[in-house]
Amino acid sequence: MKLYDVKLLTITCEILAQKNVIDILKNHEITGYTSYEVDGNGEKGLRGQGIQAEKNVKVEVIMREEKLSAVIEDISRTLFPDFTIILYVSDVGVVRTEKF
Amino acid sequence: MDILELIQSNLLTPIILFFLFGIIAARIKSDLKIPEAISEFLPIYLLAAIGLHGGIEMRKTGFEEMLVPMLVAIGLSLLFTLNHYQILRRLGKFNIFDSYALASTYGAVGAVTFSVGLSFLKNQGVTSEGYLAAILAVLEPVAFILAIFLTNMAVSKQIRTKKQSFSGDKVSDIDMGMKETKTKLSQVLKESITGKAIVILLGSIVIGYIIGEEGFEPISIVFDDLFTGAIVIFMIEMGIIAGQRLEDIKKVGVFLTSFAIIMPTINGIIGVLVSTALGLSLGGAVMFGLLLASASFIAAPAVLRHAIPQANPSLYITSALGITFPYNIIVLLPIMFTVSTWVHGEEAIDLFNYVTRVFI
């Protein structure tokens, strides 16, 4: 089966930044994403335990390459200075390219 | 009873013992923890119980009585927030964002602290005015709104002065700053009013008001008899979280640590005295003081992280949860109770003599 090349943007961030991330996606007309709660260790220490507001989430978004750099630029500009956030991009293949 | 004696006997109540136990459990790195669903459920339960009681009491007393104390509480909360800001900014040398975030954390109220206060009074066999639950609901967003408003004003002022030095360059940025302020404020207002804490609290007050004493009878086993027990379970969780943060307290610094103890004491005692002057009962004055003394640690991060993201959350969470909360429930509650007993008792008439005796 033919697979089409698209990009997977993965954002691991504190739960309170999730809304900002999704708002940015929405501004770029991206409505589809998957998110789940995660925990882990990093620069800010062990996260994901204790109070609800200090949990981490992982947001996964599949998008076409054209939108990618604008989205990443928005996220880096507005969220990197103040929030616990890591993002990375990977190449993935999808069957139905019209969905993205 | 002597203050020290009262603190001592307060230390030996199940609420405090389980809190300390939770701290120890966290320190020895036990994997003990309260399941997430339960620790999320308990604050809702506590607020529902507080609201129901408040509503039932308000049905007896009516609304007129509550108006003046409520307005005074709002006024004091705003005043204290401004005062905190000045202290933190000028004496503590915190940056503007941390100062406002901390100021509003300490100007806001803590629902868990309020629950512990109610159960403390129950233990002492004292009741308090039911409308204090309504004041709790109203006070919740007040300090945050003020701090967010002032922060945004300060930021847009900075932008404006910067723009002026570039003279006439891109005026739209200022408008953007102002617009952002407005949307942020209305967002915060909307989010806190529709937030779960206020919704469940106000909803329960209304339901309590409608059902009254007789309607409460069949559900009293859940919302009255289980109240203190539920707090005890929640205290294990609070203890564990506070215990995990003990290391962070070192990072908070001496200034903020003393701020986290001294400010609640001053605010609380002012609250007790003012509310006594307003005619609140012995227990009511303690709860009023506690409202002003408590710091928010459940609502604060959720609100402030969005509204003032530049502020460092570990500062305001650690100081409110790790220092002020234990201090309030272990030490300050008995102190305020004693103060309230003084000003309500026969010695009340002699209060000024007492004060002059102590200070001269």
We report the CATH number of the domain holding residue B230 as: 1.20.1530
Nearest residue on chain B to A19, alpha-carbon basis: B306
Residue A28 lies in a domain: yes
Of B325, B312, B317, B339, residue with least CA distance to B264? B325
pLDDT digits (tens, 9 = 90+) for B315-347: 998 999 999 999 999 999 999 999 999 998 854
Extract the tokens encoding A71: 């989205």
Place of tokens 């969005």: B306
Residue A96 lies in a domain: no
Instruction: Report which secondary-structure segment, H or E, holds A90.
Output: strand A85-94
CA distance B333 to B269: 10
Task: Kindly report whether the global pTM for this prediction surpasses the value 0.90.
Answer: no
Q: How far is B301 from chain A (nearest CA, A)?
A: 6
User: Per residue in B32-43, pLDDT tens?
Assistant: 989 988 988 999
Q: Does A54 touch chain B (CB under 8 A)?
A: yes
* pLDDT of B188 over the 80 cut: no
- Mind listing the pLDDT tens digit for each residue in B73-117? 999 999 999 999 999 999 999 999 999 999 999 999 999 999 999
Residue A25 in any domain: the answer is yes
User: Residue A59 domain-assigned?
Assistant: yes
**Does A55 reside within a domain?**
yes
Q: What angle do CA A83, A88, A91 make, to 5 degrees?
A: 155
CA gap A94, B252 in Å, rounded: 49
CA–CA gap between residue B219 and residue B118 (Å, rounded): 19
| Confidence band, pLDDT 50/70/90 cuts, at residue B354 | low
Question: Within a domain: residue B223?
Answer: yes
pLDDT of amino acid B158 = 78
Which positions in chain B touch A51 (Cβ < 8 Å)? 241, 297-298, 301, 317, 321
Q: Is A95 within the bounds of a domain?
A: no
Contacts of B310 in chain A (CB under 8 A): 81-82
pLDDT of A100 higher than 70: yes
Q: Is B309 part of the contact surface with chain A (CB cutoff 8 Å)?
A: yes
**pLDDT tens digits, B6-22:** 888 889 999 999 999 99
**Structural domain contains residue B290:** yes
State the ipTM, two decimals: 0.77
Contact B185, B145 (CB under 8 A): yes
Q: What is the CATH number of the domain that holds A68?
A: 3.30.70.120
Model confidence at B68: pLDDT above 80: yes
How far apart, in whole angstroms, are the C-alpha atoms of residue B154 and residue B19?
40
Domain range enclosing A72: 4-88
Residue B329 lies in a domain: yes
Rounded Cα–Cα distance for residues B298 and B70 (Å): 22
Q: How far apart are the C-alpha atoms of B212 and A29, rounded to whole Å? A: 51
Q: From B276, B274, B272, B254, select the one nearest B264 (Cα to Cα).
A: B272
Closest CA relative to residue B69, chosen from B126, B170, B138, B22: B138
Whether B142 maps to a domain, the answer reads yes
Within a domain: B48: yes
B40 touches chain A (CB under 8 A): yes
Mean of the per-residue pLDDT values for chain B? 87
The confidence score (pLDDT) of residue B153 equals: 82
Three-state SS string over chain B comes to CCHHHHHHHHHCCHHHHHHHHHHHHHHCCCCCCCCHHHHHHHHHHHHHHHHHHHHHHHHHHCCHHHHHHHHHHHHHHHHHHHHHHHHHHHHCCCCHHHHHHHHHHHHCCCHHHHHHHHHHHHHCCCCCCCCHHHHHHHHHHHHHHHHHHHHHHHHHHHHHHHHHHHCCCCCHHHHHHHHHHHHHHHHHHHHHHHCHHHHHHHHHHHHHHHHHHHHHHHHHHHHHHCHHHHHHHHHHHHHHHHHHCHHHHHHHHHHHHHHHHHHHHHHHHHHHHHHHHCCCCHHHHHHHHHHHHCCCCCHHHHHHHHHCCCCCHHHHHHHHHHHHHHHHHHHHHHHHHHHHHHHHCHHHHHHHHHHHHHHC
Number of residues in chain A: 100
Residue B302 to residue A53, Cβ atoms within 8 A: yes
* pLDDT over 80 (residue B173): no
Greatest alpha-carbon pair distance for chain A in Å reads 46
Kindly tell me if the per-residue pLDDT of B228 is higher than 60.
Answer: yes
Residues of B within 8 A of A52 (CB-CB) are: 40, 298
Q: What is the pLDDT of residue B61?
A: 83
Longest Cα–Cα distance in chain B: 71
User: Residue B162 above 50 pLDDT?
Assistant: yes
A83 occurs within a structural domain:
yes
Residue B113's pLDDT is: 95
Confidence band of B140 (pLDDT split at 50, 70, 90): confident
Q: Which pLDDT does position B177 carry in this prediction? A: 60
pLDDT above 70: residue B360? no
Q: How far apart are alpha carbons B118 and B49 in whole angstroms?
A: 11
3-state secondary structure of A20: helix
pLDDT for the residue numbered B349: 47
With beta carbons less than 8 A apart as the criterion, state whether B16 and B81 touch. Answer: no
Closest chain A C-alpha to B305 CA, distance in angstroms: 7
Residue B58: inside a domain: yes
Strand order in the sheet with A4-14: A34-38, A56-63, A4-14, A85-94
Residue B99 backbone phi and psi in degrees, to 5? -60, -50
Q: Which of B257, B249, B264 is nearest to B84 (CA)?
A: B264
Q: Are B298 and B239 in contact (CB under 8 A)?
A: no
- B359 pLDDT band, cuts 50/70/90, is low
Residue A48: C-alpha distances to residues A39, A54, B323 (Å):
4, 6, 22
Rounded Cα gap, residues B295 and B318, in angstroms: 11
Tell if the CB–CB gap between A82 and B309 is shorter than 8 Å: yes
Cα distance between residue B293 and residue B265, in whole Å: 7
In a domain? residue B168: no
Our count of domains for chain B comes to: 1
In a domain, residue A97? The reply is no
Give the residue ranges of DSSP H helices in chain A.
18-27, 65-79
- The whole domain housing B77 covers 3-149+185-359
* Domains held by chain A: number: 1
Residue B105 lies in a domain: yes
